[in-house]
Structure 1
């Protein structure tokens, strides 16, 4: 018997008859918000707005007929001259732009073009009230991941019916096979001398427009 065989024999003896058995994993976490927080749909929207602000992102509520003006106002407020957008972004979102050039990401823009842009405008797949998170999966009006990670400013349009209460609710709407990007405020890290540094792994500024259809 080799030393390896002896070690494995002792491990098997120590494990006894339960070796290979998988212990049960508790699944007692809440799948929905407590009733006190989710009494109405308005409460879910209010919680999302609060948590987005806690994450140091800007957030505004607009009506569906105001979206084009709101997008233009957000970009003008940041003095944007050139932005990048997914090829399938709805035309109406940019209909009010004046003096801002929108580059569609088709064919795929190179890194220099993305870095030179003043920002990116996208939609999202789902949003989470409990954490103030928006999730992109590369679907309609979202584009590829680089589109929202390279420019320094990301303007994300979230429709009210895309906002759910909790992470489990969001996961149930998502396809795990798709490229998921979870965004909770501007990109930040505390890894440098435990100080918060923003804009390291993604946009320095995040702004969310909640469309109450």
Structure 2
């Protein structure tokens, strides 16, 4: 059999052969966290916190009534003077800010303004405990991608009920037609020797506030 024939055979097999029936899709990946990983909801949150830290991002748990104070403390800790935020960011998240200028991305801020800002504050669409990942889809309190990819610091507020155990569980909550951005730690890369280093794209500092309602 020639290479061409082999390629065509594989294409036919992938399309379901001559009868047009699709091959079975393996479902082994679509599973929840095991009892060893997380037996309770509290364990899911603990696993998320552990994996976020392993990804070299900062993470703190806060009460719902303390989000504004926690956001302000995080920005003051970085000595931020100017931040950018989605136009629909909940007002209470910035209510405690003093001495920090918050620019709403409406109309859309130019790249120079984003780059000159000390960071961005957003919410998220979902999060994954097993991988320590947050997912943004441009929905409420998230804004467009440039808002979190250009500034050097990203402060992301994640509500506890947004944290799914596994990637398949998170995917089930998301709309695949939306622009999904999956973030597992700050921007990073590895050199030829496998040494981790700050990446050339995206924020080099990621901080996550887990809000326990």
The answer to whether the superposition gives a TM-score over 0.5 is yes
Q: Deviations over 1:148-177 (max 9, x none)?
A: 000000000000000010000000000000
Q: Deviations over 1:89-133 (max 9, x none)?
A: 000000000000000000000000000000000000000000000
Q: Which moved more, 1:183-192 or 1:60-69?
A: 183-192
Tell me, what secondary structure is at the counterpart of 2:103? strand
1:11 equivalent among 1, 5, 9: 5
Q: 1:36 offset after TM fit, Å?
A: 2.6
2:155 is the alignment partner of 1:155: yes
5+ residue gaps, structure 2, are none
Q: Do 1:120 and 1:151's aligned partners in 2 also have CA atoms closer than 8 Å?
A: yes
Matches within 5 A, 1:15-30: 15=9, 21=17, 23-30=23-30
Measure, in 2, the Cα distance between the counterparts of 1:134 and 1:180.
Answer: 10
Task: Name the counterpart of 1:172.
Answer: 172
Task: Name the counterpart of 2:56.
Answer: 56
Q: 1:29 offset after TM fit, Å?
A: 1.8
Task: Name the counterpart of 1:206.
Answer: 206
Task: Name the counterpart of 1:66.
Answer: 66
Q: Do 1:124 and 1:136's aligned partners in 2 also have CA atoms closer than 8 Å?
A: yes
Q: 1:23 offset after TM fit, Å?
A: 4.5
Larger radius of gyration: 1
TM-score (norm 1): 0.90
2:29 is the alignment partner of 1:37: no
5+ residue gaps, structure 1, are 1-6
Measure, in 1, the Cα distance between the counterparts of 2:120 and 2:192.
Answer: 27
Q: 1:31 offset after TM fit, Å?
A: 1.8
Q: Do 1:152 and 1:199's aligned partners in 2 also have CA atoms closer than 8 Å?
A: no
Measure, in 1, the Cα distance between the counterparts of 2:172 and 2:180.
Answer: 13
Please report the RMSD computed on the Cα atoms of aligned residues, expressed in angstroms: 2.1
TM-score (norm 2): 0.90
Measure, in 2, the Cα distance between the counterparts of 1:101 and 1:192.
Answer: 41
